[in-house]
Chains A and B, each alone.
Chain A
Amino acid sequence: MSYFATSARSAVGLVRSGNEDSGLASSRLIAVADGMGGHAAGEVASKIAISTLAQLASIFTNPEIDAESADDIYLNSFHEIDQTLKSEVDENPQLSGMGTTLTSLFLRDNSVALLHIGDSRAYRLRGNSFDQLSVDHTVIQELLNQGAISESDIATHPQRSVLTQVLMGEGNLELPLPVFEGKVKDRYLVCSDGLSSVLSEKEIKSLIKGRDRDEAVNALIDATYINGAPDNVTVVIADIVEEVQSDAIVKIGAAQ
């Protein structure tokens, strides 16, 4: 069996006054959610995403469950989150319009499944190669896919933060579940855009390579602060190991 050994941290940043990010770390599942929609609403949305995922995790990470069912329940957790967001808004109309991103990795045997919606990110460091596993659901990513702009234009693009898909209780989403081969010694990173919009992929790689997990998490957050930390920043790092290190499910940020 293989497990995630994790380290996680969420910080407010230097400009925002509340934390709308939530994160989760456990031996089988890591996740980050970036809420939006006014102060309280954003916190509520990301917290709902992480808490709902954590509840379902007790089912789909159960070793008794067959692989296909586990993947199915994991994938469909976004419907459950979407439903919960909707009923929360129905009960509290002042939360109307709230939404959240969700980027999560589920480790089962030797495979890592990515559930992803919005512009939070998942990366993998394997040996010397550092790859982004998730594809942003943003207008800018679509422009990039179509070759209308180049990577170097992104930092200055006026619409860089406009999302095309997000969880907001609409019930109209269809998501794929890409599955990657997981190897012992792989290092995975999920983070909110408070990290990935402040540091380049090259910088992130230089900060997480060769450090132990806690040091790497601190280095990433320190580096965003050096660059002004304009947004909440949440970072979860998971290494694939052969021995389970902790059974706890750690929740951070608004979901804490």
Chain B
Amino acid sequence: MNSLLGGRYLLGQMIGTGGMADVYIAQDQRLSREVAIKILRSDLAKDPAFVSRFRKEAKAAAGLNHPAIVAVYDSGEDPAPYIVMELVSGRTLRELIHQGERLPLHRALEIAEGILAGLEYSHERHIVHRDIKPANVMITDSGDVKVMDFGIARAMDDLGATLTSTWNVVGTAQYLSPEQAVGEPADSRSDIYSTGCLLFELLTGEPPFTGETPVSIAYQHASTTAPLVRTLKADLPEGIETVLAVALSKKPEDRYQSAQAMLDDIAKVRAGEAVTTKIATPPFMTRRRAIIFGGSFFAAIALAITGLMMSGGGSNSGPMVPNVVGLSEEMARALLSDYSITIKHAHDAVIPKDRVASQLPLATTHAKVGSSVVLTISDGPGDAIVPDDLVGMSLIDARSALTSVGLLVSQTIASPSDQPQGTVLDVNPPVGSVTQAGSSVILTIASGEVTVPNLIGIEAIQAKTLLIQAGFLIKEFYDYDSAQTVGVVIRQAPEAGTTQTIGKSVTITINRQP
């Protein structure tokens, strides 16, 4: 790739792919330095709400300047949302630790201290990471800790969860705080909890909760007390057991209220001093992997979920098939080692190439050991054929025809013609050509003047639909006017009743609470 991203970054080698985004080394031509650029996969960058959130998070993260945080220098959106970051030479914690392996106590504490130092700094600036996990912690070649993807990683996981099929919830639930597991907003104390999970794993070789599916893990986070760390590894000091019990409290108010408070207690563990921070409710022993639900409202949810999992089996007995959608073939094979694996390939617009796009039987159904599991590996987005009867259609019909085969109108070019206004004159890529599903098509349409409808006071989505149907493109802005209903259009340009060339943009301002 030779073109300059954002007019200044020359993309080089791809150094990683995270499923939702690809990471490249790039040369910043303006500052003559090497940077890393994370580019959201274009097939995943179509959700305007997501893109606006991504932009906001990238801006917030760009303000963070701390040795334990991977610096974000810049961000942009063309051709897909991207973030320009400090190039760190090293590996992620996820690559460095292997399941079942423990780190020496002093090294584990060092890593936790690095993460907490970064968090203390970001929390002071009211930025919550929301997705502390091994894949988001870099260990540099010189051994330093750097946390990356503030705010952004979780946005990506959410997108993944939205796009993956029912039941197959992709994402890392192992480090999710109880409040995040039940959909409540995360705050700085959610990061404390996740850091606790990570430290737990570094010290024992396994995260506090493991399970067959993300759902079961998430609900353990919400309802089951984490095991005391010394019941698993008796050689650990007593103080660290207290630190973890406090950090892993179910209620945010029972945890360390700041990263610094947790740092202070870790310092005491290092110095061999007693840790006196109070644990809210003394943790009781739970058998690992057992899901014990309290008398709270989660009991019913547990039944619902257990029912779902049980009903998956019917007459078949055997263990529950874990979710492998979204994983690489190698990882899926490792998780499904009890089964006989058959591999198929198919196009999939959601799941990136070379990852598992679907599995049969589905996750949570029961299947006998040794029975067959069919994995379909994604070949990337499939093909769509530009319909061959577009020329001569009205703009609205052409849009319908294109959308029903999975294509999008990205631009309309108005051209003088003796055809009725809005009639499709030409299509690019041309009709009959094979293109990627979800990609854009440019229509040349007969020019003509169209009356701009009144949009003031109308629900935003309705206004946008009216504009698209009239043959206009949309430019949207946000502002807040407390005198108006939230979500409606408060300004438009050009004004209602004026005429405008078909295919041009109409600007609307939507009322949104700041």
Contact (Cβ within 8 A) B465 A142: no
The contact of A16 among B181, B406, B408, by CB within 8 Å, is: B406
> With A and B bound together, what is the CA distance between A47 and B247 in angstroms?
50
> With A and B bound together, what is the CA distance between A36 and B361 in angstroms?
11
Q: How far is the CB of A87 from chain B (nearest CB, A)?
A: 14
Query: Which A residues are CB-close (under 8 A) to B167?
Result: 36, 161-163
Q: How far is the CB of A139 from chain B (nearest CB, A)?
A: 6
Q: How far is the CB of A111 from chain B (nearest CB, A)?
A: 31
Stretch at the interface among A57-65, A71-79, A219-227, A235-243: A219-227
Contacts A17-B382, A39-B376, A139-B305 given; indicate if A95 touches B182 (C-beta within 8 A).
no
> With A and B bound together, what is the CA distance between A96 and B358 in angstroms?
12
Question: Does A128 count as interface, using CB distance less than 8 angstroms?
Answer: no
Contacts A16-B406, A39-B346, A96-B360 given; indicate if A172 touches B311 (C-beta within 8 A).
yes
Nearest CB in chain A to that of B305: its residue: A139
> With A and B bound together, what is the CA distance between A137 and B437 in angstroms?
31
Contacts A163-B166, A225-B403, A226-B464 given; indicate if A38 touches B438 (C-beta within 8 A).
no
**B180, B360, B405, B438 pick with most chain A CB within 10 angstroms:** B360
The contact of A14 among B162, B308, B348, B408, by CB within 8 Å, is: B408
What 1/0 flags go to B331-360 for Cβ under 8 Å of A? 000000000000000111110000001111
Contact (Cβ within 8 A) A227 B461: yes
Contact (Cβ within 8 A) B166 A225: no
Contact (Cβ within 8 A) B215 A159: yes
Nearest CB in chain B to that of A37: its residue: B362
Question: Does B158 count as interface, using CB distance less than 8 angstroms?
Answer: yes
> With A and B bound together, what is the CA distance between A15 and B436 in angstroms?
10
Query: Which A residues are CB-close (under 8 A) to B47?
Result: 227-228, 230
Query: Which A residues are CB-close (under 8 A) to B348?
Result: 17, 39
What 1/0 flags go to B295-316 for Cβ under 8 Å of A? 0011011001101100110100
Contact (Cβ within 8 A) B308 A163: yes
Contact (Cβ within 8 A) B405 A222: no
> With A and B bound together, what is the CA distance between A256 and B214 in angstroms?
36
Contact (Cβ within 8 A) A94 B360: yes
Query: Which B residues are CB-close (under 8 A) to A229?
Result: 403
Q: How far is the CB of B311 from chain A (nearest CB, A)?
A: 6
Contact (Cβ within 8 A) A206 B183: no
What 1/0 flags go to A91-121 for Cβ under 8 Å of B? 0011111110000000000000000000100
Query: Which B residues are CB-close (under 8 A) to A37?
Result: 358, 360, 362
The contact of B459 among A16, A161, A171, A202, by CB within 8 Å, is: A202
What 1/0 flags go to B33-60 for Cβ under 8 Å of A? 0000000000100111110000000000
The contact of B46 among A36, A94, A161, A228, by CB within 8 Å, is: A228
Q: How far is the CB of B372 from chain A (nearest CB, A)?
A: 8
> With A and B bound together, what is the CA distance between A256 and B307 in angstroms?
34
Contact (Cβ within 8 A) B469 A153: no
- B residues 375-407 near A (Cβ < 8 Å) are 376, 381-382, 384, 396, 399-400, 403-406
> With A and B bound together, what is the CA distance between A228 and B403 in angstroms?
11
> With A and B bound together, what is the CA distance between A119 and B308 in angstroms?
14
Question: Does B259 count as interface, using CB distance less than 8 angstroms?
Answer: no
Nearest CB in chain A to that of B488: its residue: A206
The contact of B301 among A142, A157, A197, by CB within 8 Å, is: A142
Contact (Cβ within 8 A) B382 A203: no
Contact (Cβ within 8 A) B462 A17: no
Secondary structure at the A interface, as helix, strand, loop or mixed, is loop
Contact (Cβ within 8 A) A17 B183: no
What 1/0 flags go to A187-225 for Cβ under 8 Å of B? 000000000010100110011000000000011011101
The contact of B163 among A15, A93, A147, A153, by CB within 8 Å, is: A15
What 1/0 flags go to A1-39 for Cβ under 8 Å of B? 000000000011111111000000000000000001111
Contacts A38-B358, A149-B183 given; indicate if A17 touches B169 (C-beta within 8 A).
no
Contact (Cβ within 8 A) A41 B360: yes
What 1/0 flags go to A134-173 for Cβ under 8 Å of B? 0000011011001111000110111111111000011110
What 1/0 flags go to B270-302 for Cβ under 8 Å of A? 000000000000000000000000000110110
Question: Does B365 count as interface, using CB distance less than 8 angstroms?
Answer: yes
Indicate the size class of the contact surface on chain A: 35 or more
Query: Which B residues are CB-close (under 8 A) to A221?
Result: 400, 403
Contact (Cβ within 8 A) A223 B305: no
Contacts A14-B46, A95-B360 given; indicate if A38 touches B465 (C-beta within 8 A).
no
- B residues 447-479 near A (Cβ < 8 Å) are 458-459, 461-462, 464-465, 468-469, 474
Contact (Cβ within 8 A) B169 A170: no
The contact of A223 among B181, B185, B301, B461, by CB within 8 Å, is: B461
Contact (Cβ within 8 A) A157 B349: no
Contact (Cβ within 8 A) A158 B171: yes
**B166, B458, B487 pick with most chain A CB within 10 angstroms:** B166
- B residues 146-181 near A (Cβ < 8 Å) are 158, 161-163, 165-167, 169, 171, 173, 176, 180-181
Query: Which A residues are CB-close (under 8 A) to B438?
Result: 14-15
Contacts A37-B358, A95-B360, A159-B215 given; indicate if A15 touches B349 (C-beta within 8 A).
yes
Contact (Cβ within 8 A) A142 B304: yes
The contact of A207 among B163, B215, B350, B461, by CB within 8 Å, is: B461
Contact (Cβ within 8 A) B405 A12: yes
The contact of B406 among A12, A42, A170, A223, by CB within 8 Å, is: A12
Nearest CB in chain A to that of B311: its residue: A170
Q: How far is the CB of B165 from chain A (nearest CB, A)?
A: 6
Q: How far is the CB of A253 from chain B (nearest CB, A)?
A: 10
> With A and B bound together, what is the CA distance between A3 and B56 in angstroms?
50
What 1/0 flags go to B205-233 for Cβ under 8 Å of A? 00000000011001000000000000000
Query: Which A residues are CB-close (under 8 A) to B399?
Result: 222
Contacts A12-B406, A37-B358 given; indicate if A222 touches B182 (C-beta within 8 A).
no
Contact (Cβ within 8 A) B161 A158: yes
Query: Which B residues are CB-close (under 8 A) to A98?
Result: 360
Contact (Cβ within 8 A) B459 A203: yes
Query: Which B residues are CB-close (under 8 A) to A119?
Result: 166
Contact (Cβ within 8 A) B406 A17: yes
The contact of B169 among A158, A227, A230, by CB within 8 Å, is: A158
Can you pick out 6 interface pairs between chain A and chain B where the beta carbons lie within 8 Å of each other?
A42-B165, A93-B372, A98-B360, A119-B166, A207-B461, A223-B462
User: Nearest 9 A-B pairs (CB), nearest first?
Assistant: A157-B183, A38-B358, A17-B382, A228-B47, A97-B361, A97-B362, A206-B459, A203-B461, A206-B462
- What 15 new A-B contacts, CB under 8 Å, besides A97-B360, A159-B215? A14-B408, A17-B384, A96-B365, A97-B361, A99-B362, A139-B301, A142-B300, A148-B298, A158-B171, A158-B218, A159-B183, A161-B162, A162-B215, A202-B459, A225-B403
